[in-house]
């Protein structure tokens, strides 16, 4: 394909498109990683309700996926990512991130260990040139497998019951673990992972299994009101969970046009995942220096009076000095609270006199609101059911 005509190429359709397009009564689509992804199927409120009170299904196929295999797979990943990939047992999953030499975040994602020398990275952005360049000196094979793996996210308090009704016994599957199950002469992988902060699972299969599996899952889940959801409802759920998203809550360093926009793991609240004992990794020296000196920025959770979303609003200290900006915000139906995630200058991260400036539309005119904020620990929404094993039957 010519570099001059790529813009004429339509967005790709996922293996589930025949079902998602039929269900998308609003015909609302958005781009994600070169694919069409549903923003809302018909009613975002009902889709959110399915996440928190029933069973919801989200098409994960556009997520970028890389398979890392070979004798040095663990050593290679330890050189690249912040956590210790060698400590991740086979069948395990962990959340991780990776930085450049200056210790600034390139991306975050989940790492799955399918075998002693077989890993899968799932993330938001594409990094193949960087991954290949970083493999010099390691006996590894790096391959993008995004199109070879179809995936669904099944989330909600009834998700385990739906899977059991579909013939998959997940009662013993612990959080951040995965297992394989037979399906129509083949196999699928189910991991107890997700992006809603609730009980949930992610289902991994081949593209040819996609439509038969969708039909099987929705037939089994009908008694629990299973329904497909779009990115609008998922975004509300992830804000309640306090999760961050690339290019929404932080800019990947290699995409940042302004030098001061890049953020380190410490500045995004991810310092806990750094394994200092595993040996050298990309960005280690810079992060050690930052640890000793202190960070310039911090990521905080806040609660705001009222119910007007504060997304994009500026935070002030003492109503006068700019302290930071809100990156994600929403009124939480589950918590009955006006929640937000914000980046602030580190010196204001624990300040008590923070205010947010919101412009609320009131009958075709904006009203300026200056409201006090309350610092709140993330995750905002943290139900016990997401950790319970067995998860119980609903």
Same fold, 6-61+149-229 and 253-376: yes
Q: Which two tokens stand for residue 313?
A: 């609003």
CA distances for 364 relative to 33, 65, 279, 308, 310, angstroms: 36, 45, 58, 15, 18
The partner residues of 246 in beta bridges, in order of sequence, read 250
Domain residue ranges in the chain = 6-61+149-229, 253-376
List the alpha helices (DSSP H) in 332-386.
none
* 301: nearest Cα among 320, 322, 329, 321: 329
- Cα 111 to the center of its chain, rounded Å: 12
CATH of domain 253-376: 3.30.1360.120
How many C-beta neighbours within 10 Å does residue 393 have?
A: 10
Confidence check: pLDDT of 1 > 60: no
Q: Which residue has the tokens 């002030």?
A: 316
For range 133-150, the mean pLDDT = 97
Q: CA–CA distance from 204 to each of 54, 153, 210, 274 (Å)?
A: 21, 9, 9, 28
Predicted confidence band of residue 394 (pLDDT cuts 50, 70, 90): confident
Residue tagged 């002469």 (tokens): 185
Task: For residues 105 and 290, give the distance between their C-alpha atoms in angstroms, rounded to a whole number.
Answer: 14
- CATH architecture for residues 6-61+149-229: 2-Layer Sandwich (3.30)
Give the Cα separation of 41 and 222 in Å (integer). Answer: 17
Binning pLDDT at 50, 70 and 90, where does residue 3 land?
Answer: low
Sequence-separated (6 or more) residues with CB below 8 Å from residue 32: 62, 231
The answer to whether 331 and 338 are in contact (CB under 8 A) is yes
Percentage of the chain beyond pLDDT 70 is 98
Lowest mean pLDDT among 92-101, 206-215, 323-332, 362-371: 362-371
CA 314 from centre of chain: 24
Q: pTM score, two decimals?
A: 0.95
User: Are the C-beta atoms of residues 128 and 142 closer than 8 Å to each other?
Assistant: yes
Residue 9 has pLDDT above 80, yes or no: no
């Amino acid at each position: 394909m010519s570099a001059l005509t790529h813009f004429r190429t339509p967005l790709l359709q996922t293996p589930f498109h025949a079902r998602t397009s039929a269900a998308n009564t609003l015909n609302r689509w958005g781009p994600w990683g070169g694919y069409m992804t549903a923003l809302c199927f018909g009613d975002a409120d009902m889709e959110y309700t399915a996440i928190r009170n029933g069973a919801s299904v989200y098409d994960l196929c556009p997520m970028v996926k890389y398979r890392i295999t070979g004798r040095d797979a663990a050593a290679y990943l330890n050189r690249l990512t912040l956590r210790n990939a060698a400590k991740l047992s086979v069948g395990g999953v962990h959340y991780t991130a990776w930085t450049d030499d200056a210790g600034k975040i390139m991306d975050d994602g989940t790492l799955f260990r399918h075998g002693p020398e077989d890993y899968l990275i799932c993330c938001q952005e594409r990094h193949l040139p960087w991954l290949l360049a970083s493999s010099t000196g390691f006996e590894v094979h790096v391959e993008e497998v995004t199109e070879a793996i179809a995936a669904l996210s099944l989330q909600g308090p009834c998700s385990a019951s739906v899977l059991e009704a579909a013939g998959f016994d997940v009662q013993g599957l612990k959080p951040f673990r995965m297992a394989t199950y037979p399906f129509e002469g083949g196999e699928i992988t189910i991991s107890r992972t997700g992006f809603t902060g609730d009980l949930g699972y992610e289902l991994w299969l081949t593209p040819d299994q996609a439509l038969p599996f969708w039909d099987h899952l929705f037939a089994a889940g009908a008694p629990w009101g299973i329904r497909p959801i779009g990115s609008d409802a998922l975004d509300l759920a992830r804000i309640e969970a306090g999760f961050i998203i690339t290019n929404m809550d932080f800019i990947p360093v290699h995409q940042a046009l302004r030098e001061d926009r890049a953020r380190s793991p410490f500045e995004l609240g991810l310092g806990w995942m750094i394994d200092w004992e595993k040996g050298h990794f990309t960005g280690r020296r810079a992060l050690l220096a930052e640890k000793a000196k202190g960070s310039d920025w911090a990521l905080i959770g806040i609660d705001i009076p009222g119910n007007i979303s504060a997304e994009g609003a500026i935070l002030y200290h003492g109503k006068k000095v700019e302290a930071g900006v809100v990156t994600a915000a929403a009124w939480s139906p589950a918590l009955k609270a006006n929640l937000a995630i914000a980046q602030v200058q580190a010196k204001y991260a624990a300040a008590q006199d923070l205010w947010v400036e919101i412009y609320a539309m009131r009958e075709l005119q904006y009203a300026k609101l200056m409201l006090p904020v309350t610092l709140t620990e993330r995750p905002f929404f943290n139900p016990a059911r997401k950790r319970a094993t067995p998860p119980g039957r609903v």
